Amino acid sequence: MATQQYKAWSVVIASTLAFTVCFMIWMMFAVIGIPIKATLGLNETQFGILIATPVLTGSLIRLPLGMWTDKFGGRIVFFILMLSTIIPIYLISKCTEYWQFLVTGLFVGVAGGSFTVGIAYCARWFPKNRQGLAMGIFGAGNTGAAVTKLVAPLIVVGFGWTMVPQVYAVLMLITAILFWFFTFSEPAHKVGNTVSMREQLLVLKDPKVWKYSQYYSIVFGGYVALALWMTKYYIGEYGFDLKTAALMAAAFSIPGGVLRAVGGYYSDKFGAHTVTWWVLWVSLTCLFFLSYPQTDVSIITVTGPQTFHIGLSVTMFTIIMFTMGIAFAIGKASVFKYISDDYPHNIGVISGVVGLAGGLGGFLMPIMFGALLDLTGVRTSAFMLMFGIVWVSLIWMYWTEVRPVKISRHHERQVAKQATPI
């Protein structure tokens, strides 16, 4: 008979594998969307909508999936979720019209909801002081975005883009079967029928849930948006072909997934607040440099006009993106450490709300990126937008977390001084 520890790690490993495959499929349009854009003659805004469409359903479904996970258990919900996407994935290869891609994309996007299911499913198998690590390991499935950037371009070049969804449909079926045989159910992890849907949804009145949602819309929503956008950005900004652009874009996606487990470890050790605070500052610094567009400056000197070029080389751009990918990976884990600390008994529904907010960020930002590019013609406008979002989050965190602690410590010092005999 399998021990509890064996079951716990088997669940984490199988769930991480399943989530990796789900994320590969969720990010599929980041690669196949480029030849589809060329075939259909889409503008930047239409392209943004195309690649973001799967993210919409993957976000909206997270709240009900989280509630179902709390009630029925992660194993059955995860398994049914994977099975439900197989036919829509395959049907993408048969689409010829823009609306057809959007409709099938909506159904395929359900795969993105797997995060909410898996994070609650895995966390409950571990004690509180190890939940950050467990959730971080599971979250490493975000590397599916990088795997798609490495694998899908090879399939596109060798067999055409229509082969990608066909291969992915078979891969999803195999993964669902393996998941079922290597995972377990634990009745004690369910909230049972005594908790109503209304009681579960009462968490929406908690301001902390909305704050954590804002943080997650950056570290996850921003990650998803840039993972979808970067391949095309490299093609447009630096003139790479599809394979090279996807490979360069993977430099951001790989740490954004692999190092999530590191974020879980540090969140367990130093606390969710400290880690998230520094993540946001590192992200803001990276976005400051990424926001500056390629610029030629002419200065009139005593010897005549002198022109200087200011802008990031592809090497510096990739290094900064890699750094931000690390920050996002750690931040994704630290935000969920907040949740496991504050809401240990309803992780599923809270992670559903926060995951929904993060996913909506990943849905809206690519569309906004495309609209800003159509409006301004400046590719770095995408990073300018994200800079503003991160700045707002830092201000919110300062007023709700940092400043109250400073005031409390100052008050304690004053009390201590008054209590000290002269």
CATH code, 150: 1.20.1250.20
The helix (run of H) or strand (run of E) holding residue 346 is none
67 in a structural domain: yes
Using the predicted structure, report yes or no on whether residue 408 has a pLDDT greater than 90: no
The residue assigned the tokens 């569309």 is: 367
> Mean of the pLDDT values across residues 24-46?
90
Q: What was the pLDDT predicted at 311?
A: 83
Q: What is the pLDDT of residues 249-299, one digit of tens each?
A: 888 888 876 777 788 788 888 888 889 899 999 999 999 999 998 888 888
Using the predicted structure, report yes or no on whether residue 158 has a pLDDT greater than 60: yes
Cα 293 off chain centre by = 25
8 in a structural domain: yes
422 in a structural domain: no
How far is it, in rounded angstroms, from Cα 322 to Cα 366?
Answer: 19
Cβ pair 356, 214 in contact under 8 A: no
100 in a structural domain: yes
88 in a structural domain: yes
Q: What was the pLDDT predicted at 342?
A: 76
Quick one: tokens of 261? Answer: 């487990």
Query: Which residue in 53, 75, 29, 81 sits closest to 179, CA to CA?
Result: 75
358 in a structural domain: yes
Q: What was the pLDDT predicted at 357?
A: 84
> Mean of the pLDDT values across residues 305-329?
90
Amino acid at 339: I
Query: Domains in the chain: how many in total?
Result: 1
Residue 287 to residues 246, 256, 297, Cα–Cα distance (Å): 21, 16, 22
| The Cα angle at residue 243 between residues 234 and 50, in degrees rounded to 5 | 65
239 in a structural domain: yes
421 in a structural domain: no
> The domain containing residue 106 runs over which residues?
4-192+199-416
Q: What was the pLDDT predicted at 421?
A: 58
How far is it, in rounded angstroms, from Cα 408 to Cα 284?
Answer: 27
Q: What was the pLDDT predicted at 410?
A: 58
CA atoms within 13 A on the CB side of 379: 16
Q: What is the pLDDT of residues 83-136, one digit of tens each?
A: 999 999 999 999 999 999 999 999 999 998 888 888 888 888 888 777 777 877
User: Helices 44-60 and 4-26 meet at what angle, rounded to 10?
Assistant: 150
The 10 Å Cβ neighbour count of residue 409 is 10
Helix (H/G/I), strand (E/B), else coil: 298: strand
